[in-house]
Amino acid sequence: MHKNHQRFTFFSSILLLSMLCGAASAADWTLDNEASQLNFVSIKAGNIAETHTFDELMGHISESGAAELSITLDSVNTAIDIRNERMRTMLFDTASAPKATIKTSIDATMLNDLEPGQSMLTTVEAMLDLSGTQSNITAELQVFKLNASTLLVSTHKPILLNATNLGLEAGVEKLREVAGLPAISLAVPVSFTLLFTAS
């Protein structure tokens, strides 16, 4: 009887440990804005490229793999105040559309199977909603599990967006005119490094 009780206790402990491990691996993840960065490149006058960023990001990944990134467009940072203001008013119209969102899904099984120190490459289809215009995009991502509670998601290759597809062509033209430039490219490379913590 004593041995049977020990055996039952042992298997109960194993079962409980398995459940706890499963709960830990299938976590919700919350974006750490201070440790994350999203950059985009503008190309003007044919061959002058400048990198800009957004300072305020929010995001999460659910245990099912559903992922969403929200970008506060007013936080655009080009390192020049007047240019920031022009982008807010002429390009993004942040008074009417203050945020851009990207929604996608990451394979939950692959994500939950990652061990600390392991990474995976994955290609996802995402929906970008920017200033009221929705556009489908494809992104190659690298997902790296730094430790049990920290996940790093970054672009494996830059995402190439087109301002025309996003309804921003007229805004780009306004920026070109006010800056007195011969041209501003409608092609915009975007890259990001996002740090998530288990929640």
pLDDT on residue 184: 98
pLDDT on residue 1: 52
pLDDT on residue 8: 47
> Exposure pattern of 174-196 as b/e (b: 16+ CB <10 Å)?
ebeeeeeeeebbbebbbbbebbb
| Position 97 pLDDT exceeds 80 | yes
Tell me the per-residue pLDDT of 20-40, one tens digit each, with 9 for 90 and over: 444 345 689 999 999 999 999
Which residues touch 165 (CB under 8 Å, ≥6 apart)? Answer: 133, 135
pTM: 0.85
Q: Tokens 């490149």 sit at which residue? A: 41
Tell me the per-residue pLDDT of 116-166, one tens digit each, with 9 for 90 and over: 999 999 999 999 999 889 999 999 999 999 999 999 999 999 999 999 999
* Domains present along the chain, CATH in parentheses: 28-198 (2.40.128.110)
Which residues touch 175 (CB under 8 Å, ≥6 apart)? Answer: 86, 87, 90, 91, 181, 184
Percent above pLDDT 90 for the chain? 84
pLDDT classification of 41: cutoffs 50, 70, 90: very high
pLDDT on residue 43: 97
